[in-house]
Structure 1
Amino acid sequence: MGVICYTSGTTGAKPKGAMGSQKYLVVAGEIWCAVDNWSPEDDYLSYLSPAWATEWVLGLSSGLRSGTTLCFPEKPETVQSDIREIGPKVVFYSARMWESLNSTIHAKIADTLAPFRLMFNSSLKIGYRVIDARFQKKPVPLSWRALYKLADRLVFRYVRDRIGLSNIKWAYTAGASISPDILRFFHAIGVNLKQIYGLTEALMNAVHRDGDIKPESCGVALPGNEFRISENGELLVKPPACFSGYYKDPEATKKQFDKDGWIKTGDAAHITPDNHLVVLGRMKELIDLGDGNKFSPEFIETRLRFSPYIKDVMTFGEAVRPFVCAIVVIDYENVGKWAEDNRLNYTTFADLSQKPEVSKLILKEVERINSVLPDWSKIRRYVLMHKEFDPDEAELTRTRKLRRAFMVKKYKDLIDGIYSDAGEVMVEAAVTYRDGRKGVFKTAIKIRDVGGA
């Protein structure tokens, strides 16, 4: 026995302990170092809990295999200053952490003087132009390469330094889908962010290669891994080494494999002609709208979270309900800053979330996403939540994945109200005032329609 790593419990089931052998860990380091050539000169920031299998594979197994220096923040309160002090060359953050960092950057830029905002926005356009050409494997004209170097020297280098990534060579994300917009943004500012696909039971299975990055994919298979798509569209994997079984749960272990010994991932996916893995979402979470069309909640949610004004979102629909709706959680810090800049007074999170001006702000983000969605999956109605989703209330996992089945049950009355003819739904809300006082009060959550959807 090498390690026991627990699954996240995203589906609402009790997390299971996946047993990994010493071979499970050693092979993980071998195949990883065969792709990205980490060296003893590199520093890896070990930030996430080792209870997550990914941290064992990257931080411990691959780090030991390559001789890379593992660095640890001193404590949660000093993480950002520690990262700047370390200046790591390799980092691994969850998708939600990259989304949060994206929001922070945009909020900080919005708070700078107008000349720097102009420089940043102009530089970002140059960055997107260059990065998009590289993603498409097209040549970048000399003039644009020169402009990009200038933008990097004047703007992007400063931004990377402020977030502790001034020396970055490789940055990774996994655990949930990341918006292609997020990945594209970080590449534009000079962060080599790559998507990993893997699961606790089967190690790492795919990753973007340097020079072969498609923002909508998870890259191509790691050495020794095989992929197969089942008849119902589920991704099956066969890694060079896999888990030994679930701790004290042989029945669940047996169910994790198909009759040919392939591991069932539970993800809907397809393989592109150039062997990139594109994950569409969890099989159990693809929702049938009853008219022959299905939509992926995760696809919509990851793209909405690109907005600096949206922290969390849950979309839903079902066969007996005629359209897609959403529960949106505002980013309190960024929306609060926007409200102050626009001289909009508010007292609490709940008060700010129900302001008509804030609703119009979020409506623009919803309409942006609707513009790229097929008609049947466009968001027709939404509400702005009176509070944040909370892992301590079992609404999210510790990696901030939605526990969707639990949420649908918990917010059944709110969801029923959205699909009714009502203009608002009454809920009870716990509130903490700015002076520290706490209380409970009833508040009305407005139901908003999306015109043209």
Structure 2
Amino acid sequence: MEDREHLLKYTIPQLLYRRSLYSPDKVALREKDFGYWKSYTWKNYYSFVRKTGLGLEKIGIKKGDKIALIGDNIPEMLFMAIGIQSLGGISAGIYQTSLPDEIAGIIEYLDVTAVFCDNQEQVDKLVEIRSRIPGVKKVIYEDARGMRSYKSDKWFMNIKEIYELGDTAHKEDPDHFQSLVDQGKPDEVCHLCLTSGTTGLPKGAMMTHLNYVNMGVQITKVDPLEESDEYLSFLPFAWIGEQMNSFGVAMATGIAINFPESVETVMDDLKEIGPHFMFGAPRIYETIRSQIWLKIDESYWFNRLLYNYFIKTGEKAAQYRMTGRKMPAGLAFKSWLGKQMMFRPLVNQIGLLRLRRAYTGGAALGPELFTFYQAIGVNLKQIYGQTEITGIAYMHRDGDIRSNTVGKPLPGTECKISDSGEILSRSASVSPGYYKLPDKTEELLENGWLHSGDAGYLDENGHLIVIDRVSDVMYNNNGEMFSPMFLENRLKFSPYIKEAVIFGNNEDYVSTLVNIDPVVVGKWAEDRGVSFSTFMDLSAKPEVAELIQDQIALINAGAEQEHFKIRRFAILYKLLDMDDGELTKTGKIRRKFVLEKYQELYDALYDESIKDKKVKACFQYQDGQTAIVETQICFYTM
């Protein structure tokens, strides 16, 4: 395998320049637009970054300035990010789902000079908050559709104008841009990455070139990648997981990054690309599994018979593959036969036939989901990290996959557990701290170790086991400790439960609010002749409550201790949503906010005399309008 340690002495723009010299005609980026895949070679890639960087310099952007990027993943997002990094400036990603007020607060905090948006939807948000962001000198957009009314306003600028300025500047001084790139240093801050923001306004983690490149180098020591490998970019660019691949892995390995036509077409575009590796949150893999189950359920009876037989065989074989043990010959043959007859065509249908490794992180994944993917031939593995360590610090190795752990430290990563049980890490991928927050930085990097805020321990095999956030660990009235995240994950291991919020701090028992999975439970209801009209209606069905009660009973039966058992539950009438403030942009529960919002439901969970309760449900639509609906919530005791 190629030794890539020497790459750590380069910045991201410098590595891009090297790629443009050594493999100029190889495809670096692809974008699907109007059904057609447009390709950029490494030479094209560098050319667009150069004209973007020089164009930005012409409009007054200089070393140390910040550009915020808001929009779906497109090549121009990378041109803009690496373009300003080439000048010694700093890029910053903002989630495209962010609301105007939130964007205003982030722009003010990060001292943003210019903003790049992909379309009118994002530009309109900035128009709404224009008076609150006086530091923004330019709003640059890519898609000109709907922008006619803004053309006379010099605050707005099409990216094509930036390109033209950059081309002219390059003709005037062909060596200038390269001299700017050469001045860059690996330890300079190049990007501000927003944290999850579970307790308020997100913090901007200062990420250096070295942070990203080191991550790309170290991860490929564990799982090698080739220049010919393909990656589908569908995670939000503002999330560290996407930057890790776009900046770090791509520059270290030379893989091709593919941009889907839209968020809605990701699964279809996935089939066309056939990526070699994939990274996503647990709910992505849960969704794919649900789709597979629906396909099988709607198939011919003979196909269902074959599937049910070979999935059991595959699960047995998976136990050997995951632990690296030699498989008995008979089982190996039946596993191979099942792969050829059933699983290879099935995996091909969803676009994962060429997939060598799939990674999941951000939350725990149920052991049966690991086994399911391994059984059908998808090498799914758990990773663990956080924004401040460039996304990944721990990862499963092939042949050493344990569903209750997040794997071992990456090469060059040190791990230790503090006296309070907190996970501490140290590596070249650790951020130098938070932008303009010295006190928070000091807490984060106390004594030179990155403090994760998570509680956990290393098992006898050197695998890390994550328990919960240190601050989220709860104690009942008897002083007995339990982990809400652990119980929530156990609940979400059920295919019928999409989300759950555990309560019980300073209470006599544990209770939960449950979100059913609308797809899986909807199909379950249809198969049993249970009619329903809306998600709210489905959630209120007594048959559904009985189904969820059975799922909780199974979890309670496996509880290690009595106080881990869930005594009361209710099914929530709406899905928890990030737009309603209930989830972070990365899908984590904002526990304090949820408790305050559903206080009356919480109170009813801890009053066993209450069997049902009328509540007013407030729904906010995409156009900003709200509607209040009265509904009946039932409370169940196990």
Name the TM-score, length of structure 2 as normaliser.
0.67
Q: How many angstroms does 1:63 deviate by?
A: 1.7
Q: How does 1:136-215 map to 2 (within 5 A)?
A: 136-203=323-390, 204-215=392-403
Partner SS, residue 402 of structure 2? coil
CA distance in 1, matches of 2:322, 2:259: 33
The counterpart of 1:104, out of the listed 285, 291, 299, is 291
Q: Secondary structure at the match of 1:171?
A: strand
CA distance in 2, matches of 1:241, 1:78: 33
Report whether the alignment pairs 1:6 with 2:198: no
Partner of 2:530: 344
- 1:114/1:345 CA distance change after superposition, 3 Å: same
Which secondary structure state, in structure 1, belongs to the residue aligned with residue 278 of structure 2? Answer: strand
Deviations 1:333-364 (A, max 9, x none): 22222222211122222121111111111122
CA distance in 1, matches of 2:283, 2:248: 24
Secondary structure at the counterpart of residue 635 of structure 2: strand
Separation of aligned partners in 2, 1:272 and 1:18:
30
Name the counterpart of 1:250. 438
Q: How does 1:74-153 map to 2 (within 5 A)?
A: 74-153=261-340
Q: Is the 8 A contact 1:311 1:331 kept in 2?
A: yes
Report the CA distance between 1:407 and its aligned residue. Answer: 0.8
Structure 1 gaps of 5+ residues are 433-437
Q: For residue 435 of structure 1, what is the aligned residue in structure 2?
A: none
Partner of 1:61: 248
Amino acid at match of 1:366: I
Cα contact 1:103–1:309 (8 A) shared by 2: no
Name the counterpart of 1:444: 632
Q: Please point out which of 505, 512, 518 is paired with 1:326.
A: 512
For 1:382 and 1:446, the matched residues in 2 are separated by 9
Q: Give the Cα separation in 2 of the matches to 1:333 and 1:439.
A: 24
**Is the Cα–Cα contact under 8 Å of residues 317 and 325 in structure 1 kept in the other structure?**
yes
Q: Find the aligned partners of 2:612 and 2:295 in 1 and give their Cα distance.
A: 34
With 199-208 and 154-163 compared, the bigger mean Cα shift is at 154-163
Higher relative CO (Cα under 8 Å, sequence separation at least 6) belongs to 1
Comparing 112-121 with 325-334, greater Cα deviation is found at 112-121
Match of 1:288 in 2: 475
The DSSP-based 3-state class of the residue aligned with 1:444 is strand
Give the C-alpha shift of residue 232 in structure 1: 1.0
| Residue in 2 that maps onto 1:45 | 232
In the alignment, is residue 219 of structure 1 matched against residue 219 of structure 2?
A: no
Contact 1:96 1:399 in 2 (8 A): no
Partner Cα separation in structure 2 for residue 449 and residue 384 of structure 1: 12
Determine the C-alpha separation between the residues in 1 that align with 2:635 and 2:577.
22
> Secondary structure of the equivalent of 1:339?
helix
Question: Which amino acid is 2:328 matched to?
Answer: P
CA deviations on 1:377-435 (whole Å, 9 max, x unpaired) are 11111111111111100101122111111111111110110110200122112579xxx
Q: Which amino acid aligns with 1:113?
A: Y
Post-superposition offset of 1:54: 1.9
**Residues 345-384 of structure 1: matches in 2 within 5 Å?**
345-373=531-559, 374-384=561-571
- Equivalents in 2 of 1:283, 1:343: separation in Å? 45
Greater helix fraction, Structure 1 or Structure 2: 2
Distance 1:138-1:30 versus aligned 2 partners, 3 A rule: closer
In structure 1, distance between residues paired with 2:586 and 2:302 = 37
| 1:427–1:444 CA contact under 8 A, matched in 2 | yes
Question: For 1:97 and 1:241, how far apart are their aligned partners in 2?
Answer: 26
Give the letter for the 1:268 counterpart: A
Deviation string for 1:98-134 (max 9, x for gaps)?
2222223223322333322222121111111111133
Whole-angstrom distance in 2 between the partners of 1:90 and 1:139: 25
Alignment-mate amino acid for residue 443 of structure 1: T
| Structure-1 separation of matches of 2:478 and 2:300 | 51
| 1:428 aligned partner | 616
Note if contact 1:31-1:222 (Cα within 8 Å) is conserved in structure 2.
yes
Structure 1 counterpart of 2:594: 407
Distance 1:205 1:48 in 2: 19
Residues 1:37 and 1:101: Cα distance change in structure 2 (over 3 Å): same
Do the aligned partners of 2:210 and 2:428 also contact (CA within 8 Å) in 1?
no
**CA–CA separation in structure 2 for the residues paired with 1:330 and 1:354:** 11
Partner of 2:423: 235
CA distance in 2, matches of 1:109, 1:361: 21
Contact 2:365 2:493 in 1 (8 A): no
1:15 to 2:202 alignment: yes
Q: How many Å apart are 1:212 and its aligned residue?
A: 1.1
Cα deviation digits, residues 280-330 of structure 1 (max 9, x gap): 1111111111324211122122232232221111111112x1111111111
Letter of the structure 2 residue corresponding to residue 35 of structure 1: V
Q: Which structure: larger Rg?
A: 2
SS of the aligned residue for 1:392 comes to: coil
The SS at the match of 1:49 is: coil
TM-superposed deviation, 1:277 = 0.7
Q: Give the % identical residues.
A: 38
Are the structure 2 counterparts of residues 337 and 82 from structure 1 closer, same or farther at C-alpha, using a change threshold of 3 Å? Answer: same
Q: CA deviation at 1:440?
A: 3.2
* Counterpart code for 2:380: L
Residue-by-residue CA offset, 1:152-182 (whole Å, 9 max, x unaligned): 1111112212222111101111122222222
The match for 1:302 is 489
Distance 1:322 1:355, change over 3 A: same
Mapped partners of 2:474, 2:296: distance in 1: 38
Amino acid at match of 1:389: L
Report if aligned partners of 1:2, 1:25 keep a CA contact under 8 Å in 2.
no
**How many residues get paired?**
444
TM-score (norm 1): 0.94
Of the structure 1 ranges 77-86 and 195-204, higher mean CA displacement relative to structure 2 is found in 195-204
Q: Aligned partners of 2:426 and 2:477: how far apart in 1? A: 34
Distance 1:39 1:228 in 2: 33
Contact map agreement 2:282 2:361 (CA 8 A) in 1: yes
3-state SS of 1:345 partner: coil
Give the distance between the partners of 2:478 and 2:304, measured in 1 at CA. Answer: 47
RMSD: 1.9
Deviations 1:53-89 (A, max 9, x none): 1222233311221111111111112111100000111
Structure 2: tracts of 5 or more residues without a match? 1-188, 621-625
